[in-house]
Each structure stands twice: as C-alpha cells, then as structure tokens.
Amino acid sequence: MNLIVLQMPFRNPAALLGLVSIIPLILIYLIRPRPKEIRFSATQFLPEGEVKRSAVLSRLISDPLFWVQLLVLCALSIAAAGPYTTEEGAASSHLVVVLDGSASMQASSSRALQMIEPYLPGYEKVSLVLAGIIPQTTLLKGSPNEARDALRLFQPKAVSSDLSGGMILAAGLLTAEGGHMLVVSDFNSWTGDDPRATRKILEADGRLSIVFADARQAGENVALTEAWDVLGPGYVNHTALIHNYGPARSVPITISGPGGEASRTVQMGSGEDYFLSTTAYTGINEVSLDIDDAISWDNHAYVYVPALGKKRVLYLGEDGPALAALRSLPNVEVTTVGQPEGHDLVVVSGNATNDVRLNQYIDGGKVIYIASGGAEGPEYLPVRLEGVESGPASLWVRSGGFAQGLHFNEIGIFSYPKAASRRGSVTMVEANGRPILSYWRLGKGTVVYSGLELDSDFHLRPEYPIFWHKIVNWITDVPDTIQSNRKTGETVHLGEPAMIETPSTRLTASSLLLDQVGIYRYQGQAIAANMYDPKESSLQRSQDVEAGQFKEVSRETTVEKDLSLWVIALAALALLLELAVMRRRREA
C-alpha cells in the first residue's frame, strides 16, 4: 500500500487569511442577540450565589446556525488555499525527444520527423530538446499535439551538434520520475562526448531507457569546406576549397560582389577537390554553388571586406606612448592641434586643458580619455575619479569586447586611478575591483576611459600597439577583416546588449551565436559567417548505430493529490444545512 504523507501543504497559503472572516461572524452574534419574552411576577426573588451563563454566550454556543456558517467560512478559505497531500505512486508516462539540429540533418529532417510521430501517442507528456552547439529545451512536458506543433517549426542550423550534451539535458528532465528518451539523429558527426558512451552512463541506474533513432538519409553533396584570405590594401585575395562528396558532376559557380559578377562551370570527379581563387573588394562578396543537393548551407560563402579609409585622430595633451602607438597605425592620420570637429576620434590625455568645444563634440563624437592621476576627471567620463590607489593590482576582464584576446593579466600595475562606475557604463577590465577600462554612450557618441597607463608597464609590452589598433578600429566602427569573417558555431561577445540583424531575423542580445550562413549586422558593423565543416558536409558514416529498444523502468515518484474538491463539497453540504435550518425557523 502506498504511504500517504501525513501533512497538508497548501498551494496558495495566503488564501488562509480568509479565516479572518470568522471574527465579523462572531461579532454579529454577540452584538445582535435575539430578544426573548419571559413572563415573571411583579415580585421576583433572585437566588444568591448561583452563576449562570450569559444569554449572548449561551446563544453563541447553542445556536446551530452559527456553527454551520462558521463551517462554511472555514471550508471556503481552506479550499481557496489549495490543500493537497503527497504519496508515492507511479509517474505519468514521459518521453523526451532529443533531436539533432546540425547542418547534416538538412538531408534527413523529413525522415527524422516521420520517425518521431509513431512514438508520440503512447505518452501523456512529451518534452523536446534540440541538440545544437548549445542544447536547449524547446518544449517541456507538453501534450503529443503540442509536440507535433513544435516539431513543425524544426529547422536544422549550420552548425555541429552536441548530442551528449542534449542527452544530459534530457536526462535532467527525467531524473525525478524516470522515463524514455528518444535520440533522433543521422549520427554522422558530433561535438563533445560519444553519445553511445553517454547512453550507457545514463541507463546505469535503471530509471532511463534510451533508443537511438537513425534518421540518416543518403544523398549527393558538393560543399565549400574551407577558405583562406590574404589581405591587401582595400581588397582580399580569397581562396575557397570545394569538395565533391557525390558522383562526378558539373558544378556551376557564381562569384558576385562590388567588383562585379562572374560565372564558371567546373567538372568535378567523385571525391575530387577544386581550389577557387578570386579577389574580394570592399563590401560583401559571395561565392555560390548553383546546384540543388542534400545540404544548402555549404553551397554559399560570404567574404566581408570592411572599408579601410583613413581615420582622422586628434590627440590632445602631452606626448606619450599612446601618441607614438597611434602614429604607428596604418590608415590613421594623427594631428595634435586643431578643433575636435571634423575628426573621427579625439584622444585626450589627462594632462590636457579643458576645452569647451570638446564637450560639444562628445554628444555625437568618439573620445578616448587616458587618466593621468588627477584628483578629478571631466563629467563626461563613464567613471568618477577620486584619486590614486597604490598597487600592485590584479586585472580581471569582465567584458572583453574589442580587447578580447589581449593578456591583461600579464600587465604590471603599480598604481591606478581610484575610480567608481557611473550608472549606464560598461566595465571591461577591473583593477582590484575598480574599473580601469570602461566606456559608455552619450547621445550618439562614445567615451572610453582608460586607467591602464597611469603607472604600469603596459606601454612596454608588444601587445600595446595591438591594443590601440583594436580600440581605434572598434570606436570608429572599422572592424578587423579577419574578425569580420567567421565560421558558424562561433560566439561573438558584444560587451553590451545591441540590436542584431541576422540572415533571417532581428533580435537584441549581448552575445551572438553564429548558427546561420550569411551576414550579421550590429552596432554599425558586419560579420560574414560561413559553414566550413567537412564532417557536416559529408553524408558518409564509418559505422552503424545500435538503435536499442525501450525497456520498463522504475518510475515511481511523489504524486500530489488535490483535496480542494472534498473541502468544497463539505462547504456545499454546510450551505444546504444552513438553508434547512433557516427554513425550519421560517427565516428564508
């Protein structure tokens, strides 16, 4: 026999405050007692020493209508609180489907959905986990019909999938009650652990049963599998590798971009490679294989070449390492005299004199402020300066942004500005908990604060000019050509929430997962993402996968039994009893 837990928890305990309604009920009976006529003689002797209960209290205790109404109020308040008990019982049937969302599933998606359908009617609850670079739950304990609706939206992405990660996420959805897991994939390739080893580990405790549904669909595929870029002044020499994973065929190729459009047709044998060389000019360039094959993601590749026009930089303050680094940068023209207007960037050393025109320029311009140790800083800074603190200091990168990849932890900081972040600023690097590199946006302008050069060996390190190259390109919206051409599956950290235009939609986020082939735009910049992944493009597989079959598993769990209906029924009976009492008294 199942053991019922001898407790009565409530889903909405706040509703028990309704029991306070008992107080008005008692007061009504106390202050409005019914008068009663008693005949007595003109002379009445009162017995001495005899204590009698008051008429009001006697009526309160003896009146059945009071107790019936008290029962109704208590029952309604308890029912609203949602009482329930718990007991050990059989869990409801639950199926978790782990669906491979990798690029190679473009060839097998229809078959995969057909393989899932026969399993759905046999379960009360169905959950869906999409296995991609980052596995995610797309449906939690829905009905079979809800699962069908979610599966209709399934679209593979131009990435590899972490099948083991998806299985572990699915196991977490089944841990409490046990159940069945259906892993649907072509099992061509994956990232992370081998899903076969993961299945053995998850099934070890007997609470899970896992079936592999092999949805692999053979097909012909020709793919762009790799690319190399050699930078030139205002252009890129681009070489792409094309591989034929099917039988011999002719492959039409179109190259388009700012330099015009060109076409060619290449005869490729089975398993043959072809190296395509072209020149990509400033803007967006595309290489397209004009064929209809198993996977479409790898038939297109984009090359983005950012504009490399010279940037005019005004440096204000005494000469220092920053000025020397700026003068060493290509495509940067540095002046030390003049007005801020007409410049793409103004770099202010802390020892520079205040300029009213600079304050006017900031609303729509770009400013980098280098702290020099002064007790106070200008109001346009993203931090408040309160003096100088002695080092040494440990640097911690909170948000890499444009400076991602630089080894800040190797910089020797001997003293640093005592700074405090202002609301709305973004801290990129901290020194002993204080911002030492941060920025914020004022109107359409951007102000960057740097305390890295107050008293440090940063300017002696080989990364110092690289830092200035990155910060100038970032603040003047000139992205690095190499960083502007990525592979799908990579994540780009933006440093702050921004509006992003992907190849298919728009969204707001502070990090960007490149899971589609095409152009991404954000913060005035663009990134080309391409699927250069031979494992995903190949539909061949070296070994078969053992499907397995669902087994009976131990699936007892804690089940809640709702008592609200019983309490409501009790209140209803009490109301009927109240009506009966009132009718008998001819009050109704």
Closest CA to 435 of 408, 459, 461: 408
- CA dist., res. 354 & res. 361, Å (int): 13
User: What are 437-475's pLDDT values in tens digits?
Assistant: 999 988 888 999 999 988 889 889 888 988 888 888 888
More confident of the two residues 116 and 349: 116
Q: Residue 587 — pLDDT band, cuts 50, 70, 90?
A: low
Q: Do 577 and 430 fall within a single domain?
A: no
| pLDDT score of 470 | 85
Return the minimum-mean-pLDDT range out of 113-117, 156-160, 465-469: 465-469
CA distance 204 to 138: 26
Sign of CA dihedral 71, 77, 78, 79: positive
| pLDDT band for position 98 (cuts 50, 70, 90) | very high
In a domain? residue 26: yes
Specify whether 425 is located in the same domain as 322.
yes
Q: Which of 199, 218, 237 is the last residue of a domain?
A: 218
- pLDDT-derived band of residue 38, with 50, 70 and 90 as boundaries? low
- Rg (C-alpha) for the chain, rounded Å, is 37
4 or 462: which leads in pLDDT: 462
Are the C-beta atoms of 331 and 310 separated by less than 8 Å? yes
Residue 324 within any structural domain of the chain: yes
Mean pLDDT value of segment 272-281: 94
For the chain, the domain total comes to: 4
Q: What is the pLDDT of residue 476?
A: 84
Q: Cβ distance 263 to 248 under 8 Å?
A: no
Q: Of 23 and 181, which is predicted with more confidence? A: 181
Phi, psi of 30 (to 5 degrees): -80, -40
pLDDT of residue 59: 55
356 with 464, same domain: the answer is: yes
Q: Is the Cβ–Cβ distance between 287 and 255 less than 8 Å?
A: yes
496 occurs within a structural domain? yes
In a domain, 422, yes or no: yes
Q: What is the four-CA torsion angle of 30, 33, 39, 42, rounded to 10 degrees?
A: 50
The CATH number for 185's domain is 3.40.50.410
Check whether residue 500 and residue 587 sit in a common domain: no
Looking at the structure, tell me whether residues 324 and 461 fall in a common domain: yes
Q: Are residue 458 and residue 580 in the same domain, yes or no?
A: no
Prediction pTM value? 0.60
In a domain, 505, yes or no: yes
The full length of the chain comes to 588
- Higher-scoring residue by pLDDT: 583, 199: 199
Q: Is residue 551 part of a domain?
A: no
Q: Would you say residue 252 lies in a domain?
A: no
Domain boundary among 475, 494, 513: 475
The confidence score (pLDDT) of residue 2 equals 41
Roughly what angle, to the nearest 10 degrees, separates helices 64-80 and 22-31?
A: 160
pLDDT of residue 588: 47
Give the residue from 218, 242, 259 where a domain finishes: 218
Contact 323, 329 (CB under 8 A): no
| Across 382-397, average pLDDT | 88
- Compute the mean pLDDT over every residue in the chain, rounded to the nearest whole number: 84
pLDDT digits over 165-208, tens only? 999 999 999 876 778 999 999 998 899 999 999 999 998 888 88
State the Cα–Cα distance between residues 514 and 500, nearest whole angstrom.
11
Confidence at residue 375, expressed as pLDDT on a 0 to 100 scale = 58
Residues 78 and 165 in one domain: no
Q: Are 88 and 558 in contact (CB under 8 A)?
A: yes
Per the model's pLDDT, the better-predicted residue between 61 and 554 turns out to be 61
CA distance 454 to 417: 7
Residue 479: which pLDDT band, with cuts at 50, 70 and 90?
A: low
Q: Residue 512: pLDDT above 50?
A: yes
473 secondary structure, DSSP code: H
Tokens of 224: 């762009």
CATH number at residue 384: 3.40.50.880
Instruction: Reduce the DSSP state of residue 571 to 3 states and report it.
Output: helix
Same domain, 471 and 489: no
Count the helices and strands in the chain (H runs, E runs): 12, 30
Q: Is residue 297 part of a domain?
A: no
Confidence of residue 90 (pLDDT cuts 50, 70, 90): very low
Please state, in angstroms and as integers, the Cα–Cα distance from residue 87 to each residue in 82, 226, 554, 560, 568, following that order: 16, 59, 16, 7, 22
Q: What is the mean pLDDT of residues 248-275?
A: 94
Pairing of strands 283-289, 249-257: antiparallel
To the nearest whole percent, how much of the chain has pLDDT over 90? Answer: 42
Range of the domain at 183: 90-218
One domain for residues 185 and 106: yes
Asked whether residue 3 carries a pLDDT value surpassing 50, the answer given is no
The percent of residues above 70 in pLDDT, for the chain, comes to 87
Residue 40, pLDDT above cutoff 70: no
Q: Looking at the structure, do residues 326 and 469 belong to the same domain, yes or no? A: yes
Of residues 157 and 574, more confidently modeled: 157
Residues 221 and 244: their CA atoms lie apart, in Å, by 6
pLDDT over 80 (residue 539): yes
Is the domain of 59 the same as that of 106?
no
Q: What is the pLDDT of residue 195?
A: 93
Q: What is the pLDDT of residues 53-74, one digit of tens each?
A: 555 555 555 667 777 778 888 8
Closest CA to 10 of 2, 22, 19, 1: 19
Better-scored residue on pLDDT, 392 or 47: 392
Are 116 and 198 found together in one domain? yes
pLDDT of residue 68: 78
Residue 396 and residue 410 in contact, taking contact as beta carbons nearer than 8 Å: no
Distance CA 123, CA 379 (A): 63
- Given this model, what pLDDT does residue 402 score? 75
Encoded amino acid at 248, one letter: A
Instruction: State yes or no: pLDDT of 320 exceeds 60.
Output: yes
| DSSP states of 496-564 | EEEEEE-SS-EEEEEEEE--SSEEEEETTEEEEEE---HHHH----SS------------EEEEEEE-H
> Alpha-carbon distance 550 to 538, whole Å?
30
> Which comes out higher in pLDDT, residue 50 or 239?
239
- Considering only 1-5, 102-106, 317-321, 402-406, which range has the smallest mean pLDDT? 1-5
Q: Identify which of 159, 163, 161, 160 has the alpha carbon closest to the alpha carbon of residue 196.
A: 163
Alpha carbon distance 446, 459 (integer Å): 24
Q: Following DSSP, what letter does each residue of 204-218 receive, concatenated?
A: TTSSEEEEEEE----
